[in-house]
Amino acid sequence: MNQIKNLGWRVTMAGLGINLALGILYTWSIFKMSIKESIVAGDGLFNWSLSALNDPYAVCCLTFAFTMIFAGRVQDRISPRVTAVIGGILTGLGLMLISCSNAWISWILGFGIFMGMGLGFGYASATPPAIKWFPSAKTGMIAGIVVAGFGLASVYIAPLAIFLIDRIGLSQSMLVFGIAFLVIVSALAQFLVNPPEGYVHPEEAGKKNNFAASSSIDFAPGQMLRTPTFYKLWIIFCIASGAGLMIIGGVAGMAKQGMGQTAWVVVALMAVGNASGRVIAGILSDRIGRANTLFIMLIFQSIVIFSLLFISPAQVMLLVLAAMLIGFNYGTNLSLFPSVTKDFFGLKNFGVNYGLVFSAWGVGGFIFPRVSQMIVAYTNSPKMAYILASGLLLMGAVFALMIKSPVIEIQEQPEFMANPVPEEI
């Protein structure tokens, strides 16, 4: 028992470490700030349009999300170890590519496509094996701990990126990150392992309550896609992630107006909020339920983003507080949605099923930052973007109240599982 428990925690810590490397995505606002300064200065290094500043970030989010579907299948069918190594190699190669060229297309390919694919494989490998070693009552907590690394990464990457960019430039900094993360992720991947076939945690054995019953049904991907619950979850995730990523992607630029070169502090503090939100929401949802936690967080996020309308860049303390709260609320999604996917659709196909749910994160991350950048470019103000995001979050909160277990849908439609669709999609 102790050996199994220790192995579960070893897998959890390895997943946390991998995400601490892959979380470089959330430091995009630091890189974007450096690129924007070059464009505005007209030094010839980055000949981009200002309206295209968020394009590599948006493409990365979209690629990341849809890669998760295929990567989840690899994780389910082959092993999390192989999946993570592929992720480390692709992430490293993507960063090395953009170290060789400042062209917009190179950043789309390197940061957007290669790194996006790397993040998809790496992220897909970390959470599934960890939660499989623990009982259902700890799903939220374990998922929160593993994904906290992704949110917390900016705490060290943001100041390190500023330090490196000031001394060796943006391109060479990307080369350093690329080599480091390729090695780190590939090494930590060796600690990822799934439980043996048919493994049931001792605390789960003999449980006969409704929660255990609902968790015992494993949905094939095609079956999941036939449930209304999937589409409600997808819409909520798209809105919640898009609104958060819109702010995270531009927070350094907002902060620099009032804080100058110390703007990285806001990015780092947002990362602390991001990571803590994942753990706290996971633990809270284990106690009061996923849907109830989602509703609370969506309402809170709507209020905080709306409050940005009344905060000027000169109000540094208020900006820092708002950034931390937005990071916190955004982070809650990254533990709640894998947890609810496991609760509702089972563990057998968890990798690919969560990949399909996670595609909402990519669509939201692609649309919201891009639309926000266009609004800022044409109106010279982000206020309309804040109002739009706030309103959509309220709509997401309404959807959260409508979520019910797909097991209830099966009970209402007995023929659902009697005629299952093929597992492949």
Note whether residue 209 is domain-resident: no
pLDDT of residue 416: 53
Burial of residue 59 (number of CB atoms within 10 Å: 0-12, 13-18, 19+): buried
Per the domain annotation, does 69 fall within a domain? Answer: yes
Distance, CA of 350 to CA of 80 (rounded, Å) = 12
Q: Where are the alpha helices (DSSP H) in 78-138?
A: 80-98, 104-107, 115-132
Segments of the chain scoring below 70 in pLDDT: 1-5, 199, 201-216, 248-264, 267, 313, 409-425
Nearest to 275 by CA among 59, 79, 19: 19
SS (H, E, C) 194-213: CCCCCCCCCCCCCCCCHHHH
Q: Is residue 180 part of a domain?
A: yes
Residues with Cβ within 8 Å of 229's Cβ and at least 6 positions away in sequence, in order, are: 344, 403, 404, 405, 406, 409
Tell me how many domains the chain contains: 1
The predicted pLDDT at position 106 comes to: 93
Structure tokens at 211: 């929660």
Q: Label residue 132 exposed, middle or buried (CB < 10 Å: 0-12, 13-18, 19+).
A: buried
Q: How many whole angstroms separate alpha carbon 289 and alpha carbon 168?
A: 48
How many C-beta atoms lie closer than 10 Å to residue 409's C-beta?
Answer: 15
The answer to whether the CB of 404 falls within 8 A of the CB of 294 is no
206 assigned to some structural domain: no
pLDDT at 395: 92
Length in residues, the chain: 425
pLDDT value for 215 = 45
Contacts of 215 (CB under 8 A, 6+ apart): 136, 342, 343, 346
Closest alpha carbon to 151 in 13, 30, 248, 70: 248
* 212, part of any domain: no
Do the domain assignments include residue 326? yes
Assess if residue 421 is contained within a domain. no
Residue type, 109: L
Q: Which domain holds residue 270?
A: 2-194+217-415
CATH number for the domain harbouring residue 18: 1.20.1250.20
Q: Is residue 315 part of a domain?
A: yes
Residue for token pair 């706290």: 280
pLDDT digits (tens, 9 = 90+) for 303-328: 998 988 888 767 777 877 887 888 88
